[in-house]
Structure 1
Amino acid sequence: MDGPDVGEVGEHIEHLLGELAAVAEPGVVEKAEDLVHLLLEFYGAGLTRVVDLLREAEGGERILGLLTEDQHVKGLLILHDLHPKSTLERVTEALDKVRPYLGSHAGDVDLVGVDDQGVLRLQLKGTCDGCPSSTVTVKYAIEKAIHDAAPEISDIDVAGVVEEKVEVGPGGRPLLPLQALECPVPESA
């Protein structure tokens, strides 16, 4: 059973610290932040020791590999920079999983790199480059696969994405796309 998402927990902690900052004296907020950092360091050191012991044990690498398949454990390993695969390795594997889908539309994607701020840079290729549906492809196929594999990626910049044009009607609401249908003309008897 997977536990809470590490990213969601981090956001919740930040939210709680923000709420505390709004009502408490600055010294109290600093103590709360120190407490959070101390707990993270404590559990991170313990997890580091567990990973080190697994790597030393016979069959430990196999067990560590199995642990990385659990979303909760994988998130903790990534948070503490203990995952056995690098960010680029995990991103490459994620892209390999979406390539069959992209290939079914005669498209592909290249990994350009990850910058110091954690921004992943990609380039769409083939029919995906400049395709009007590229926004949907990136949002629902590529971004989800990347987020699942490498939640530490802060943003994804994809060259070749065409922003969808949304027609706006009265009142500023988007218009629904309409398509003419051919209706069969009934034959006269």
Structure 2
Amino acid sequence: MDELRQAEARVEQLLAQLSTAPRVGEQAEELVRLLMRLYGEGLARVVGLLPAETVRTLAADDLVGSLLILHDLHPRGTAERVADALEQVRPFLGTHTDSIELAGIDASGRATVRLRGGGCGGCASGAVEQAVERAVRAVAPEVTGVRVEQLLAQRTLLQIGSRPPADAPASGARP
């Protein structure tokens, strides 16, 4: 898997270098787009020939799953994958939240994640937001952004008033 990550990094590096020479950069981008379209069409045909269960099994693999996402062939939708990722990150949030849910994904691709309550008074620590964003981006790279909303839990306050007047009958006492 390290070789794949290295290849991915090298592709990004080469594209960045090629973009400094406008004409060459444009040609390189066109080449990459055409190759992506060609490989995407081939992958779509392969996926179309496979049973749904096999496609789901393949989609569970990190590399194959990301290729299926890239070519809009993943058997599970973005919202479903994000909701599952939030369930996976829930145990790591500890007392920072009572619940976590996907509030929605807007037309621009931005996901809104809602955190409710928490033992720490609904704090929106940077670490919590980063953990949520990493979890979402790991399963849904097509998401353009992640917004974390903190909603404070409604807490019932104990009201302590003054004592009843001395001449008031006690509760349950008969006059």
Distance 1:109 1:92 in 2: 9
Which of 1 and 2 has greater Rg?
2
Task: Give the fraction of aligned pairs with identical amino acids, expressed as a percent.
Answer: 42
* 2:15 paired with 1:61: no
Match of 1:160 in 2: 150
| Distance change in 2, residues 1:157/1:47 (3 Å) | same
- Is the contact between residue 108 and residue 128 of structure 1 (CA under 8 Å) also seen in structure 2? no
5+ unaligned residues in a row in structure 1: which ranges?
Answer: 55-59, 162-189
Match of 2:80 in 1: 89
Instruction: Select which of 131, 135, 145 maps to 2:135.
Output: 145
- Is the contact between residue 124 and residue 150 of structure 2 (CA under 8 Å) also seen in structure 1? no
TM-score, structure 1 normalization: 0.68
TM-score, structure 2 normalization: 0.72
Q: What letter matches 2:105 in structure 1?
A: V
Distance 2:3 2:108 in 1: 27
Distance 1:128 1:99 in 2: 14
| Distance change in 2, residues 1:158/1:128 (3 Å) | farther
State the 1:125 CA deviation.
Answer: 0.1
Distance 1:100 1:20 in 2: 44
5+ unaligned residues in a row in structure 2: which ranges?
Answer: 152-175
- Mean Cα deviation higher: 85-94 or 144-153: 144-153
SS in 2 for 1:157: strand
Give 4+ residue runs of structure 1 displaced > 6 Å after superposition: none
State the 1:69 CA deviation.
Answer: 1.4
* 2:27 paired with 1:31: yes
Q: What letter matches 1:76 in structure 2?
A: L
| Distance change in 2, residues 1:47/1:3 (3 Å) | farther
- Is the contact between residue 3 and residue 72 of structure 1 (CA under 8 Å) also seen in structure 2? no
Instruction: Select which of 7, 15, 18 maps to 1:17.
Output: 15
State the 1:71 CA deviation.
Answer: 0.2
State the 1:78 CA deviation.
Answer: 0.2
Size of the alignment, in residue pairs?
A: 150
